[in-house]
Homo-oligomer: A and B are copies of this chain.
Amino acid sequence: MEKTKLNRRKDRIFEIIFEADTYYGKLFDILLLVVIMISVGLVMLESVPMINAKHHKLLVILEWIVTAIFTVEYGFRLYCVRKPWRYFFSFYGIIDLLSILPTYLGIIYPQTKYLSSIRILRLFRIFRIFGLTQFNRGGYTMLIALRKSRAKIVVFLAFVILIVVVIGSIMYVVEGKHPESGFTSIPISIYWAIVTLTTVGYGDIAPVTSVGKFLASVVMIIGYGVIAVPTGIVSAEAMSANLGESKRTTQVCQNCHDQNHEEAANYCKTCGNPLK
């Protein structure tokens, strides 16, 4: 009897914290989102030297209050779920933990407390709360396109990693004798190769010799062609997802069993029989 009462209390807490259907559930979630955004703002402000110098104390106090709230909330979450370990190792469970850990770690290693802005990832819940189905579906289609492209993207990235190691080594041999170029070691040269191939191009490291510039030109033109590959892959998959999803119905003509009719079609396009 006692246990049922406890369970009922647990369920009520669960409903408020995890669900967003009831009035209190929604209120809780909205309050949480606001606190998350304020908290991330606080972390950012604290990192700005000028602001921190003026309001250091206030920011630290507020930061600790927020962390306290999040810690209590985390405790309640662990308390009210049926299978605490499953929540603990779930995507949101890990993020919820990572949202409070940095502040505590900040006592020992002061710098780490800035990592607490990771808690912005908790905002992902926003989609679930407000039932933004249209956006959910958009995100879902993209996810499918990405998942289907996974094998190709892994192959592509593996290829890119091999290629930048080779390019980086060659550039180091060519440019390494000129310290003003910035190619001071192979890892740095590989970093340059990545910066160049991805067309980011900071310019802190740039070839100074003629041979180096020629090789860099070749790398850039290759990169020009190569950047087309992941785009092509994702485009093709997104296209397929689009085709498969929105343009056709799965309706089958009862007369000729022709499938794949347009959504707006009333009659079978092959035999002229009415579609229902």
* A contacts, CB < 8 Å to B: 40, 43-44, 47-49, 111-112, 114-115, 117-118, 120-121, 123-124, 134-135, 137-139, 141-142, 145-146, 151-157, 159-160, 162, 165-166, 168-170, 172-173, 176-177, 184-188, 190-191, 194-204, 206, 210, 213-214, 216-217, 220-221, 223-225, 227-243, 246-247, 258-274
Asked if residues B247 and A239 are in contact (CB atoms below 8 Å), the reply is no
- As for how many copies of this chain the complex holds, the number is 4
Asked if residues A198 and B173 are in contact (CB atoms below 8 Å), the reply is no
> What chain B residues lie within 8 Å of A123 (beta carbons)?
162
- Shortest Cβ distance from residue A236 to the other chain B in the assembled complex, whole angstroms: 4
CA distance A241 to B239 in the complex (A): 11
CA distance A156 to B160 in the complex (A): 22
A135-B151, A201-B202, A237-B242 given; 4 more Cβ-contact pairs under 8 Å: A121-B162, A194-B220, A196-B200, A227-B231
> What chain B residues lie within 8 Å of A231 (beta carbons)?
227-228, 231-232, 234-235
- Shortest Cβ distance from residue A211 to the other chain B in the assembled complex, whole angstroms: 11
Asked if residues A152 and B141 are in contact (CB atoms below 8 Å), the reply is yes
- Shortest Cβ distance from residue A16 to the other chain B in the assembled complex, whole angstroms: 25
Asked if residues A152 and B162 are in contact (CB atoms below 8 Å), the reply is no
- Shortest Cβ distance from residue A137 to the other chain B in the assembled complex, whole angstroms: 7
- Shortest Cβ distance from residue A169 to the other chain B in the assembled complex, whole angstroms: 4
Could you say which of B169, B194, B230 contacts A115, with CB atoms under 8 Å apart? Answer: B169
> What chain B residues lie within 8 Å of A188 (beta carbons)?
213
Could you say which of B114, B159, B187, B232 contacts A172, with CB atoms under 8 Å apart? Answer: B114
> What chain B residues lie within 8 Å of A213 (beta carbons)?
187-188, 191
